[in-house]
Structure 1
Amino acid sequence: MTHISRSALVRYSPRQMFDLVNDVEAYPSRFRWCSAAQVLERDESGITARLDLRLAGLVQSFTTRNLNLPPDRIQMRFVDGPFKTLEGVWTFQALGEAGSKVSLTLDFEFASRLAGAALRLGFQGLADRMVDDFCRVARDVYG
């Protein structure tokens, strides 16, 4: 299983960053790595969403159930796609008036060993960029 953990300090509130990450439908217009996004279900506890990601020259689709604990946390659980397992957590920790710390932790394993080798590298690279990409979008949206 591959484990990735990334974080960044931003001058935005946990709520602002939570809202950006939770706005799944906006991903295709904000991120080159996302070709499509669809919220399949939305309720008071979170969303079930499908993302089409560009990985290793291919488009891979997967679905997660996201448990929203605003404004501090989004927990992701694998529902469907090329993974054997996928779990992730976004956390948004307030740092007083200075802003917040945004963190992403992912644990994943692809179902197919053959396809998994190439996809793992692509997904690992994407995960490495995601925190930076959300920080960039925060600057674009919030100034």
Structure 2
Amino acid sequence: MLSWEVPNELIVASGIGQIFTAIVYPYIRHAVFDWYNDIKKLKPLNQEIAKTYGRYIQGLNFAFGIISLLFTEELKNGTGLSVALTGLIAAYWTGKVLTQFSYYPMYQIPRKLKFKVGEILMNTLFISFAITFLWLVWSNCLSYLRA
């Protein structure tokens, strides 16, 4: 019989990667996208809204990483809560990947080598998070439906 269980090491690696994305997020906004100068062109309320959403993204990436590190077993135990939480995280990262490849290619990032390498590495991380959590939600759904 095939085992659909996701290895703990993959969940932990995803946790570390998600925390990493939260830590480098401000640098990417500043160094790659000149985000802070663009934000200054908005009305004050819109500036605060944009900053708030930026913090939401950073906070979710960090929180999903901490959850992955601290609750590795619970994320794959086949309970209703594990289905819901891994489904949420899978939807978040899958949505990020779809958005990344659907909308972002029309914009230019600086052509420096470090930014091109960074783009490839970050996209690889995003795709790996989506795959890991899609696998987790699939495994959890199978376990949940068998119970």
**What TM-score does the superposition give when structure 1 sets the normalisation length?**
0.32
Whichever structure has more strand as a proportion of its residues is 1
Whichever structure has more helix as a proportion of its residues is 2
**What TM-score does the superposition give when structure 2 sets the normalisation length?**
0.32
